[in-house]
Amino acid sequence: MLDKDEILKENIRIPNHLAIIMDGNGRWATQFNKSRSFGHYEGMKRVIDIVKASSDIGIKYLSLYAFSTENWKRPLEEVSYLMDLILVFLNKQIKHLHENNVKLNILGILNQLPPKQIKKIEEALKLTENNTGLILNIALNYGSKDEIFRAVKKMINDVWIGAIDKDSITEELFYNQLDTGNMPDVDLLIRPGGEKRLSNFMLVQNAYSEIIFTDVLWPDFSEKKLIQCLEEYTLRERRFGGL
């Protein structure tokens, strides 16, 4: 169990907003001659661990990339399994998340998911909507280019129907149209799995985030590894373009 006071004593800087690209499930499973699904299941277990750890140490926003707009291109069997995992995760965890004051939020287009998943997610959103602890963003059917496109389209439509004046479009108004609404930008982005790219994940919100790429595959990612990443983040000098 992570103790927030211990971490603060060690002067570890806690990011307000942590984002993770959970990569490497397939390769993790393959090394044991297991199916990719087995790797995704183990990856889901790490979601549970890292949500708990993040909440314990006082991270306010945690954004997890679970399924991208591009992931539909994977074989049907894998897509179906990932969709099933959403149900498994919520069935297993939603009560616990709620008891721990976690507020669930979805990034991406919910209404393109299968009906069972939509229903379960909507119930979970409703149940946790007034919670004031960790805000857990799960990116599902999410792509950052798509998110930006939807935000721009929404503003054009609002101008068109007279809901806003074109001169009232500000950077802030644009940000607020993104799926993260008025949440703060990401402070720290971690990508396990050895690849060094953003893969269309929160491109605007990561404008000034610190990025840590690690070779550890997501199913091997642990609380200990999270703390190591936070230690590395603590040493980073953040200048936001200034001196």
Residues forming a β-bridge with 64: 20, 138
CB of 149: closest distance to ligand FPP in angstroms? 22
Residue nearest to ligand FPP (CB): 26
CB of residue 3 to ligand FPP, shortest distance in Å: 25
Nearest to ligand FPP of 73, 239 (CB atom): 73
| Distance in Å, CB of 44 to ligand FPP, minimum | 4
Query: Cβ closer to ligand FPP: 26 or 155?
Result: 26
List the one residue out of 200, 207, 147 whose CA is nearest residue 174: 147
- Which one of the listed residues 16, 71, 100, 131 is annotated catalytic? 71
User: For binding to ligand FPP (CB under 6 A), which residues are involved?
Assistant: 22-27, 36, 40, 43-44, 47, 66, 71, 82, 85-86, 89, 138, 193, 218
State residue 62 phi and psi, 5-degree precision.
-125, 120
For the chain, counts of helices (H) and of strands (E): 8, 6
DSSP, collapsed to helix, strand or coil, labels residue 153 as helix
Distance set, CA 122 to CA 50, 73, 75, 125, 142 (Å):
23, 25, 27, 5, 17
Q: What share of the chain is helix, strand, coil (3-state, %, to 5)?
A: 50, 15, 35
In the set 23, 179, 185, 187, the catalytic residue is 23
Rounded to whole angstroms, the Cα distance separating 140 from 143 reads 9
Instruction: Collect all residues with Cβ–Cβ distance below 8 Å to 239 and sequence separation of at least 6.
Output: none
Least distance (Å) between residue 40 CB and ligand FPP: 5
For the question of residue 3 being annotated catalytic, the response is no
Query: Which residues have a Cβ under 8 Å from the Cβ of 178 and sit 6 or more positions away?
Result: 147, 148, 151, 204, 205
SS3 of 133, please?
coil
Q: 66 vs 188, which CB is nearer to ligand FPP?
A: 66
Output 46 or 151, the one with its CB closest to ligand FPP.
46
Other Cβ atoms closer than 10 A to 205: 26
Asked if 5 is an active-site residue, the reply is no
Q: Give whichever of 59 and 82 is closer to ligand FPP, judged by the CB atom.
A: 82
**Residues designated catalytic:** 23, 71
